[in-house]
Amino acid sequence: MSLSSDGRTVNWLYRLRRFLRVPRVTIDGFTLIAYRRDVPKHVSQMLVRGDYEVPERRAVAEIVRRGDRVLEIGSCVGLVALTAARTAGADNVLSFEPNPDAARVAQENFARNGLPITLKNEAIGTSDGTLALSIAPDSWLGASGRRAINGRTLTVPMRSIASVVAAFKPTVLIIDTEGMEEELLPACPLAGLRALVIEFHPDVIGNDGIARLQVHLGAQGFSRNERLSAADTETWERTT
């Protein structure tokens, strides 16, 4: 038995994989790049421990239906997109990842698993243009346009969420943007969506910011799925 009751890798196996710096792991049936020079250590550790994006994976596995069109903003290594594509089909998933290092790994993971998901190495914002993407050293987290101490800044193309939604016509939206959800959700046309999976970042937008977004979603006809929602990761479904 290699998994604990919560779906994570049992501790002894995690320690062994970490010691050996295994190049690949299998999560939910997907083979993923784990330890590699261009993957930050904390990302590798989450992958070999099996707790990478657990709430998002579980919500997406249950909420996505065959025939859905899934828009993912913030793909990182691509595991959540793969989870969506397993049900909806790769042709019906469109992912955006502004960090070129993460996008490269995601593309390799898509190819390795035979799911040619379309991934754009671009940012999503409230308008078309460019984004100064600030990336912390030895990390892919926090790459949201906010300044990272001792990090590097890249200029990446940015597309407006309204134009992407109008062109792709998603029915499910997945957002993990390290705090930019505060800007993106109010600017996103929600009429064609039936469900959203959102990772909130209280360290960036505060609890008040989360509360404002929750009120906004409720006013647009969505209700929080309490069973599929977890701390800082929420699933919302259309009720009207």
CA pair distance 148, 139, nearest whole angstrom? 10
Same domain flag for 67 and 165? yes
Same domain flag for 139 and 32? no
Task: State which residues form the domain around 218.
Answer: 53-238
pLDDT at 1: 37
Q: Give the number of C-alpha atoms closer than 13 A to the C-alpha of residue 96, restricted to the C-beta side.
A: 23
Nearest of 214, 220, 212 to residue 192 by alpha carbon: 220
Residue where one domain finishes, among candidates 35, 52, 69:
52
Model confidence, pTM: 0.93
pLDDT in tens, the chain (240 residues): 355 445 567 888 888 888 899 999 999 999 999 999 999 999 999 999 999 999 999 999 999 999 999 999 999 999 999 999 999 999 999 999 999 999 999 999 999 999 999 999 999 999 999 998 888 777 775 444 454 545 678 899 999 999 999 999 999 999 999 899 999 999 999 999 999 999 999 999 999 999 999 999 999 999 999 999 999 999 999 998
Same domain flag for 23 and 57? no
Same domain flag for 27 and 76? no
Same domain flag for 45 and 63? no
Same domain flag for 42 and 104? no
Same domain flag for 59 and 178? yes
Same domain flag for 193 and 82? yes
CA pair distance 235, 225, nearest whole angstrom? 5
Same domain flag for 67 and 40? no
Q: What is the CATH number of the domain that holds 152?
A: 3.40.50.150
Specify the number of domains making up the chain.
Answer: 2
pLDDT at 11: 87
Same domain flag for 146 and 223? yes
Same domain flag for 204 and 161? yes
Asked if 186 and 159 count as a contact pair (C-beta separation under 8 A), the reply is: no
